[in-house]
Amino acid sequence: MLAAAQHGSEAAFTRLWLDANPALVRYLRVIAPQAADDAAADTWVQVVRGLPRFRGDEAAWRAWLFTTARRRVIDASRRRSRRREEPLDDLPVAALPVTADAADEAMERLGTRSAITLLARLPRLQAEVILLRVVAGLDTDSVARLLERSPGAVRVAAHRGLRRLAEILTEAGVTL
């Protein structure tokens, strides 16, 4: 499918997009909640332009897609920092104010949005590791390269993130 898209097949590219974009948007809604849609559009523009020159399999392409998205978010954040504008989405995810009933709301309907809201309460690294592993489907080594961390650090972050998530759910009184 990737090779066909690289050779100009729009149908193959559409399938790639339909497969990857929901995961991309979910990832961006955690690391850049106020600009997720714009960041996703910018990411696709850059990925499409580099598509003919990409070399690798679909797993590598998926990792490249999320790497591009993450860099777009970081670059946009730096540009806004240089302009000394501090919108709310520049703040770390963990520093964002969370409504007190976020966990309760998530428990009422464990939809995707609620799960993303819950995950946004985790520290940035832990949330990114869990999203890249679960949503993007990347393995530990790929996540480590993407985040520029060691595989051990990625595993520890995953452990801590899941444990913290369990604590949040327990605090909300959820026992399934």
- Interface ranges with other proteins (CB under 8 A): 5-10, 13-14, 17-18, 21-22, 25-26, 37, 40-41, 44-45, 48-49, 51-52, 106, 110-116, 118-119, 130-131, 133-135, 137, 155-156, 158-160, 162-163, 165-166, 169-170, 174-176
Nearer to other proteins by C-beta: 81 or 166? 166
Give least dist CB 45 to other proteins, A.
5
Q: Assess contact for 31 and 93: CB atoms under 8 A.
A: yes
List the one residue out of 66, 172, 176, 161 whose CA is nearest residue 121.
161
Nearer to other proteins by C-beta: 45 or 96? 45
Q: What does the chain come to in residues?
A: 176
Give least dist CB 77 to other proteins, A.
21
Distance CA(64)–CA(142), nearest Å, equals 10
Residue 15, classified by CB atoms within 10 Å of its CB into exposed (0-12), middle (13-18) or buried (19+), is middle
Nearer to other proteins by C-beta: 98 or 162? 162
Nearer to other proteins by C-beta: 90 or 102? 102
**What is the per-residue DSSP string for 63-113?**
HHHHHHHHHHHHHHHHHHHHTT---GGGS-GGGS---TTHHHHHHH---HH
Give least dist CB 130 to other proteins, A.
7
Give least dist CB 98 to other proteins, A.
15
Q: Residue with structure tokens 């070399």?
A: 55
Give least dist CB 78 to other proteins, A.
24
Nearer to other proteins by C-beta: 44 or 61? 44
